Structure 1
């Protein structure tokens, strides 16, 4: 089943593609900056940030933990950080500087995103001087008012904490913040840009470094279920994922992502009948969860159930011919399943 998991990670069905605004995405690229500073041992600490207003940059607070004198930089230009508004629990900090000429990013909304929608992460992964762009798709949305925490396949690495997650209209929808790691691949999460509203109301302080535990650093059993599920999934610990997902579906029976997580665990444990039921429930609760339907089709193929395979093809075709064609290609059906 590990082969199936890896295959599906690579060939996940996306929502019907929409044209993207190249100029807007270029503007987004130029709204991303680097946050730097020397740590206590003399080494250089670094992260990313996004310009959201004149002389203001949003970043992760954990980027500011190791330095007493952080600054903003782009290329050889530097701008000292003069103050910060901090929400350490939500791991978002709004830093201020002076005479910074960069235009702010256009703000979008995490609440308008759909599962499978294409997004782009832009940040200074590995501390490279120019931002790197990583395209991916929304893989999960977890309501946390006033927005959705976003799981995405747009990868980011060390140095890109605090970087931007943008939709294809170039609007900032999230701040790339934390990820899990394991043999199944990293799982990446971005915090909703809507949290900027409450961040702006925080008191302004001028002392560094910034300290305080973030929500993703909470004890494992106190984390939201989607965080609890991410670790065993990335480690391909399917028994543990099934255990967490069972609790999740019991506590939140109307949450589609809980059922999708359970289906993933059960499928990899070869409990395919139960997995198909979980995936069908996920799609019933979220009609944008096309991945769930495709999993049902894959299970049907493993059982030689051509009628069910065809039913899924028809259901996807009713949504989009592109989705149906991707499904046919994934299952290797030829012209039709």
Structure 2
């Protein structure tokens, strides 16, 4: 939905959500680097978030290549003495000592909503100072403890294990894996709630950490939202259509599954099929703004001006500022 934000800002409408500048600054200082030398003598690095006194959460895959990792900020370093590891969920909680950094407050991934503004803070490309990337929630996928989060807040190599924060500076997810392709990267964060189980696990002082993560599972064994992300980012529309068909059959009440199918069929120029899929997506989630936009686009291509107008009414109920954005998106202005 990045195009929506750009268009809204261009129109000068007050769509940007309020944020707590002081809290976000504190979140920024709660993000650290995890570093260590690999077997070849090179530097292995990632990011982490301070979640309690002398404790930092990161991804376990950050700790696969080094026997003596440490936490660092600037020229200061703090040797890691133990780790609680959940390799499958790719979460590791490392312990150090005499670290003066304040823990960040925790939020709730179950309280998030699609389209909500969030920010990723991490050491992308291993830069000394954390980099902040603003984005929004694109998808929420239930797990037994919390929601896996798909967001448009970008992170690069070196930001694995970094924090995804709401605009009140509360940690809602751990940035972990992404896909890449001509269509752009798709970013996923683990739910902050998984930390509660991790904190109860026994500690170990054995490094490197080993074990396969859930996102490294064989493609046909992954959840459908993960399976769909690869062809979407590569713009492989026939493959996305195939995965999405299976997804809608297995998870009939998932608006994301129907949206994914609509995106694939629209790109294949099967406009009738795409219109039907987008209609099902908004039927299941009436707040799914991008699906409303896409449904309107299909209606316009099919010459269905009645539906084009009806969608204006739906968007008016969600947020009146979306109506001129929708009209601009369709290229028809007030004549829609």
- TM bucket by the smaller chain? over 0.9
Structure 2 spans left out of the alignment, 5+ residues: 9-13
Deviation at 1:325, TM superposition (A): 2.5
Q: 1:298 to 1:321 in 2, by over 3 A?
A: same
Counterpart of 1:171 in structure 2 is 170
Say if 2:174 and 2:191, in contact at 8 Å, map to a contact too: yes
Q: CA RMSD in A?
A: 1.5
Which whole-Å CA distance do the structure 2 matches of 1:336 and 1:43 have between them?
61
Counterpart of 1:292 in structure 2 is 291
Listed as ranges, the matches of 1:1-337 within 5 Å are: 10-11=3-4, 17-335=16-334, 337=336
SS in 2 for 1:287: coil
Residue deviations 1:213-250 (CA, integer Å, cap 9, x gap)? 00000000000111110111111111111111111111
Q: 1:281 to 1:69 in 2, by over 3 A?
A: same
Deviation at 1:10, TM superposition (A): 3.3
Which whole-Å CA distance do the structure 2 matches of 1:105 and 1:245 have between them?
38
Relative to the length of structure 2, the TM-score reads 0.95
Which whole-Å CA distance do the structure 1 matches of 2:274 and 2:2 have between them?
17
Which whole-Å CA distance do the structure 2 matches of 1:162 and 1:288 have between them?
30
Relative to the length of structure 1, the TM-score reads 0.95
Structure 1 spans left out of the alignment, 5+ residues: 1-7
Deviation at 1:136, TM superposition (A): 0.6
Deviation at 1:298, TM superposition (A): 1.1
Which whole-Å CA distance do the structure 1 matches of 2:335 and 2:204 have between them?
62
Which whole-Å CA distance do the structure 2 matches of 1:258 and 1:189 have between them?
17
Deviation at 1:336, TM superposition (A): 5.2
Deviation at 1:16, TM superposition (A): 5.1
Which whole-Å CA distance do the structure 2 matches of 1:269 and 1:330 have between them?
20
Number of matched residues? Answer: 330
Which whole-Å CA distance do the structure 1 matches of 2:63 and 2:287 have between them?
37
Deviation at 1:17, TM superposition (A): 3.8
SS in 2 for 1:312: helix
SS in 2 for 1:86: strand
Which whole-Å CA distance do the structure 2 matches of 1:284 and 1:95 have between them?
44
SS in 2 for 1:335: helix
Q: Which deviates more from structure 2 when the two are superposed, residues 296-305 or residues 153-162?
A: 296-305
Which whole-Å CA distance do the structure 2 matches of 1:335 and 1:26 have between them?
41
Which whole-Å CA distance do the structure 1 matches of 2:17 and 2:185 have between them?
27
Say if 1:114 and 1:288, in contact at 8 Å, map to a contact too: no
Residue deviations 1:83-121 (CA, integer Å, cap 9, x gap)? 000000000000000011111111001111111111100
